[in-house]
């Protein structure tokens, strides 16, 4: 058993033993956990990845005459200013009002760290104590009284990987996902990630001193969405932006998604006893995550399969018997550099460990949002749908269209969807003298909906494919109804009448 004070004494004396987390499995295997705990004092961890839930509190000082800023923009990116007169919080994912996705809050933060000038524009309603209604000026980070990074949710313990089952490319915060399981992307540093090395949060807690983007920072509590029960712990952290380095902080744009901030975090884990030695000997093989299908626009994305970080880092995983290439979103190279840098700080006697003043919760679960159930396809669809058999005669189908007034007919064989014909397809066939079965003129690649799909998703599908009806099918492709743009328009009419 060692105490944090004893470890700090070793740092002062210059004989502390620090190793990187990725070296621990071998050390523990060789010496055993008891001996390893005697040898090793500190294990350094690191991660460098896109952490959208990041931002900075800024204090600008007072203007003459003074202003109580009601709205504020930094390089045309709006910051939140509902906190007193001249304080604002700039969030990483807020987009520029003039440049859109290519520039956002993350870029403002990066520009401040790079000591670049930033244009400040603010408006106000004016009060007796703050009469000014408008201000426009240029500032740099040196002109700010404080620039304190406060990130509500960083350093995810692990994160589910992403893939895409659909026929089109998806643009997500997990990067570009190619159609038909064309690739898999994942985030996090695996066994090098801080929270994986202290999964019971014995040493990482409120007040833990950490490496944050090249500066000293602190854990200030559990992160939002902290979900320790299923090993998805997160941290809320803070640090002084003025001391941070552009090497460990990087603004990014995910195409057609938006901006994010790459944040570098390193946390020293004190090896207090054999248990901590064992915990820090975790390997990528031991850390399992699900690959989720981002093709389903729901918070409950289907799990395609479960994999370990070792498999993800190998660059290839198998899905449905095919080898699929895998990309990280996080930089493992920079994560290693962070763990090394932190190790150097400690060895040079520039960084001391702190014991948490309070432990992080270990029993939380992340719950979904409470809201009224949206309107689903099943609520608006016509059921049962009028369908035609694949061997029906074109002329008979033409008659059916005339008598029923229906424009879209799913084509079925034994109740299973095989195609769709529209009144236009049939009119074209009749005008062109095409004879025979409807199979000849139907569209075989049918865009469909499922009963539990939201109508927003159905509407988006119809818009994307420039069509006006979707057969509603079961998982066995049995047609149980049809939903049309008209059904959805009626609903909107009802809402506003």
Partner 1 sequence: MRLHIKFSHRIVRNPIISQVVLATKAPINILRARIDHNGGEMLLEVPDEFCKEVKKEFERYGVEVQEVKSVVEHNTDLCVDCGLCVSICPTSAFSFDTDFKLKLHEDRCVQCGLCVTSCPHGALSLVTI
Helix (H) or strand (E) holding 333: helix 332-347
| Shorter beta-carbon distance to partner 1: residue 244 or 488 | 244
Q: Please give the size of the binding site for partner 1, defined by CB under 8 A.
A: 29
Minimum separation from the CB atom of position 331 to partner 1 (A): 4
Minimum separation from the CB atom of position 206 to partner 1 (A): 30
The reply to whether 244 sits near partner 1 by the rule CB under 8 A is: no
Distance CA(76)–CA(72), nearest Å, equals: 9
Q: Which residues in 464-483 contact partner 1 (CB under 8 A)?
A: none
The reply to whether 453 sits near partner 1 by the rule CB under 8 A is: no
Nearest alpha carbon to residue 445 among 476, 483, 411? 411
The reply to whether 255 sits near partner 1 by the rule CB under 8 A is: yes
Span interacting with partner 1, options 132-140, 327-335, 352-360, 429-437, rule CB under 8 A: 327-335
The reply to whether 176 sits near partner 1 by the rule CB under 8 A is: yes
Catalytic residues: 129
Tokens of 297: 């626009």
The reply to whether 144 sits near partner 1 by the rule CB under 8 A is: no
- Residues 267, 212 contacting (CB under 8 angstroms): no
| Shorter beta-carbon distance to partner 1: residue 141 or 192 | 192
DSSP 80: B
Q: Where are the beta strands (DSSP E) in 116-256?
A: 118-123, 134-139, 146-154, 161-163, 170-172, 175-177, 184-186, 205-206, 209-212, 215-222, 235-240, 249-254
Binder to partner 1 among 81, 93, 94, 185 (CB under 8 A)? Answer: 185
Binder to partner 1 among 184, 265, 360, 483 (CB under 8 A)? Answer: 184
The reply to whether 165 sits near partner 1 by the rule CB under 8 A is: no
The reply to whether 44 sits near partner 1 by the rule CB under 8 A is: no
- Residues 480, 386 contacting (CB under 8 angstroms): no
Minimum separation from the CB atom of position 338 to partner 1 (A): 12
Helix (H) or strand (E) holding 458: helix 455-465
- Residues 394, 438 contacting (CB under 8 angstroms): yes
Distance CA(255)–CA(99), nearest Å, equals: 14
Minimum separation from the CB atom of position 251 to partner 1 (A): 8
Span interacting with partner 1, options 208-216, 220-228, 235-243, 247-255, rule CB under 8 A: 247-255
Minimum separation from the CB atom of position 333 to partner 1 (A): 4
* Alpha-carbon distance values, 314 to 193, 237, 284, 462, 487 (Å): 17, 31, 11, 39, 48
- Residue identified by tokens 């035609």 is 388
Residue 495: exposure state from Cβ atoms within 10 A (0-12, 13-18, ≥19): exposed
The reply to whether 22 sits near partner 1 by the rule CB under 8 A is: no
DSSP 486: H
The reply to whether 103 sits near partner 1 by the rule CB under 8 A is: no
- Residues 241, 269 contacting (CB under 8 angstroms): no
The reply to whether 336 sits near partner 1 by the rule CB under 8 A is: yes
Cis-peptide into 65, omega within 30 deg: yes
The reply to whether 266 sits near partner 1 by the rule CB under 8 A is: no
The reply to whether 73 sits near partner 1 by the rule CB under 8 A is: no
Other beta carbons within 10 angstroms of residue 297's beta carbon come to: 14
| Shorter beta-carbon distance to partner 1: residue 48 or 309 | 48
The reply to whether 32 sits near partner 1 by the rule CB under 8 A is: no
CA–chain centroid gap for 272, Å, is: 34
The reply to whether 332 sits near partner 1 by the rule CB under 8 A is: yes
Minimum separation from the CB atom of position 383 to partner 1 (A): 41
The reply to whether 330 sits near partner 1 by the rule CB under 8 A is: yes
Binder to partner 1 among 49, 217, 233, 268 (CB under 8 A)? Answer: 49
The reply to whether 315 sits near partner 1 by the rule CB under 8 A is: yes
Contacts of 497 (CB under 8 A, 6+ apart): none
DSSP 125: -
The reply to whether 329 sits near partner 1 by the rule CB under 8 A is: yes
- Residue identified by tokens 């396809």 is 377
The reply to whether 407 sits near partner 1 by the rule CB under 8 A is: no
| Shorter beta-carbon distance to partner 1: residue 51 or 473 | 51
Binder to partner 1 among 183, 389, 393, 468 (CB under 8 A)? Answer: 183
Minimum separation from the CB atom of position 237 to partner 1 (A): 20
Q: Write out the residues near partner 1 by the rule CB under 8 A.
A: 48-50, 175-176, 178, 183-185, 250, 252-255, 260, 262, 315, 324-334, 336
């Amino acid at each position: 058993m060692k105490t944090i004070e004893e470890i700090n004494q070793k740092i002062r004396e210059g004989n502390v033993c620090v190793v990187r987390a990725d070296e621990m499995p071998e050390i523990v295997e060789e010496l055993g956990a008891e001996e390893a705990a005697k040898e090793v004092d500190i294990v350094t961890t690191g991660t460098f990845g896109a952490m959208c839930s990041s931002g900075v509190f800024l204090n600008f000082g007072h203007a003459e005459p003074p202003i109580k800023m009601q709205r504020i923009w930094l390089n045309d990116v709006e910051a939140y200013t509902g906190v007193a007169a001249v304080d604002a919080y700039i969030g990483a994912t807020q987009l520029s009002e003039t440049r859109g996705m290519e520039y956002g809050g993350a870029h403002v933060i990066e520009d401040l760290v790079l000591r670049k000038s930033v244009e400040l524009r603010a408006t106000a309603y004016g009060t007796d104590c703050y009469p000014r209604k408008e201000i426009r000026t240029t500032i740099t980070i040196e002109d700010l009284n404080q620039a304190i990074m406060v990130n509500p949710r960083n350093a995810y313990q692990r994160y589910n990987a992403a893939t895409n089952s659909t026929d089109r490319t998806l643009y997500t915060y997990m990067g570009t996902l190619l159609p038909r399981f064309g690739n898999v992307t994942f985030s996090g540093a695996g066994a090098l990630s801080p929270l994986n090395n202290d999964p019971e949060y014995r040493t990482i807690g409120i007040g833990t001193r950490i490496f944050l983007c090249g500066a000293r920072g602190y854990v200030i509590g559990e992160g939002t969405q902290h979900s320790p029960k299923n090993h998805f712990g997160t941290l809320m952290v803070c640090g002084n932006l003025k001391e941070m380095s552009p090497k460990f902080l990087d603004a990014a744009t995910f195409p057609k998604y938006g901006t994010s901030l790459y944040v570098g975090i390193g946390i020293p884990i004190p090896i207090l006893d054999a248990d901590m030695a064992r915990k820090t000997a975790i390997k990528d093989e031991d850390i399992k995550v699900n690959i989720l299908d981002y093709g389903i626009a729901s918070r409950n994305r289907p799990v395609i399969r479960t994999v370990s970080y070792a498999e993800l880092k190998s660059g290839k995983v198998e899905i449905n018997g095919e080898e699929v290439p895998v990309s990280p979103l996080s930089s493992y190279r920079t994560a290693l550099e962070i763990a090394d840098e932190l190790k150097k700080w400690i060895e040079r006697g520039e960084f001391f460990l702190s014991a948490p003043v309070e432990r992080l919760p270990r029993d939380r679960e992340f719950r979904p949002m409470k809201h009224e159930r949206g309107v689903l396809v099943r609520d608006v669809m016509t059921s049962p749908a009028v369908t035609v058999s694949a061997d029906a005669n074109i002329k008979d189908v033409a008659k059916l269209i005339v008598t029923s007034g229906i424009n879209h007919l799913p084509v079925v064989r034994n109740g299973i969807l095989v195609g769709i014909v529209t009144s236009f397809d049939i009119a074209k066939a009749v005008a062109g003298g095409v004879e025979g079965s409807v199979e000849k003129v139907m569209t075989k690649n049918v865009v469909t909906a499922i009963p539990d799909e939201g109508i927003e998703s159905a509407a988006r599908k119809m818009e994307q494919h420039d069509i006006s009806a979707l057969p509603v099918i079961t998982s066995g492709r049995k047609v149980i109804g049809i939903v049309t743009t008209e059904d959805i328009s009626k609903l909107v009419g009802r809402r506003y009448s």
